[in-house]
Amino acid sequence: MTPAGPASGGGGAGGFAGLDPTARGMAYMLASCVAFALVWTLIRIAGETVSAFMIMFARTAFGCLSLAPDLRARGLAMLRTRRLPIHLIRGVTSVVGTFGIFYAVTVTPLGLVVAISYAAPLFTTMGAVLLFGERIHARRVAALIVGFAGMVLVLRPDAVDFDLGVAAAIAGTLGIAGSMLTIKALAPTDRSDTIVAYAFLLPLPVTFAAALPGWMWPEPVDWVLLIAIGLLASVGQRLLAMAFAQADAGAILPIDFVRLVLATAFGAWLFDERVDWLTGAGALIILASTVYLARREAIAGHAGATGRSDARPERR
């Protein structure tokens, strides 16, 4: 009984460190959801005075700045790769995904955009089957069907006008899926920090060129918003990576539903947006199917190992 005394009387950090890896992963995932919900809310606010292209460029620039510690540690060796064409493809998918989601957030209810974005792993699974020849069995086919049924529920015509914002959200979701597929292709040969570095460096000139035609120097308050978006997004990505490093995807992905709850709450509070319960139910169905697919992938692809994928931290 004696060893239990110090543990029970330890400080907050000691108590957190004493948690099992799955609990720590869930905590990191929860913190990541809060960070990303705040990012999307700030994008919506900044979008009233700053173009989506400008926001995207600022986010990419801050992402490049976040590479400084790794560049200092490894130098240009961090950029060493033999698969530059795949990195270029990922750069394209990253631009499509980022702009699609960022634009959608500025014109479409936040909760609806989150719900649509949950479908990215479904498209990734389909792409892996079509492009990489991955085998898919009846249970995963059933999960895909259920997931896309949830997508139909989210996008039902009686509740959602298929406007440019919704189209951008779908395009952004497809871009995210494309990025996931390129990560899957790169993970066996390239280090994760190399994959992340190219994901920020290659889109930087593209986003800068896209922002130039409507370039306007932001007002001081807009600079505060852009800096906050960049910092929170970087923190959110790091928390997400820590979450996947601690626990299996199937254990922590259910926590991602908090992102929908927070985005919907912020949208209702700040922008008088409403997302009906059927949209929430559809999002929950999509998320449940992605959780199941993650569990099946862990079982099928990592039997006898830890069940984690080294590429997962970058898959969001």
Report d(CA 59, CA 31) in Å as an integer: 19
173, 120 Cβ separation under 8 angstroms: yes
Residue type, 2: T
At 316 the pLDDT is 39
At 4 the pLDDT is 45
What is the pTM (predicted TM-score) of this model?
0.85
Report d(CA 41, CA 266) in Å as an integer: 7
Report d(CA 66, CA 226) in Å as an integer: 15
Report d(CA 248, CA 101) in Å as an integer: 26
| Average pLDDT per consecutive 10 residues, the chain (316 residues; last block may be shorter) | 44 66 90 95 94 92 88 89 94 94 94 94 92 86 93 87 93 94 91 89 94 89 93 88 83 90 94 89 93 79 46 40
At 301 the pLDDT is 59
Closest to 205 in 3D by CA, of 91, 115, 312, 295? 91
At 302 the pLDDT is 52
Report d(CA 308, CA 234) in Å as an integer: 22
Give Cα separations from 259 to 101, 139, 214 (angstroms). 15, 27, 31
Q: What stretches of the chain adopt beta strand conformation (E)?
A: none
Give Cα separations from 18 to 11, 21, 239, 255 (angstroms). 11, 9, 18, 21
Q: Exposed, middle or buried, 103 (CB in 10 Å: 0-12/13-18/19+)?
A: buried
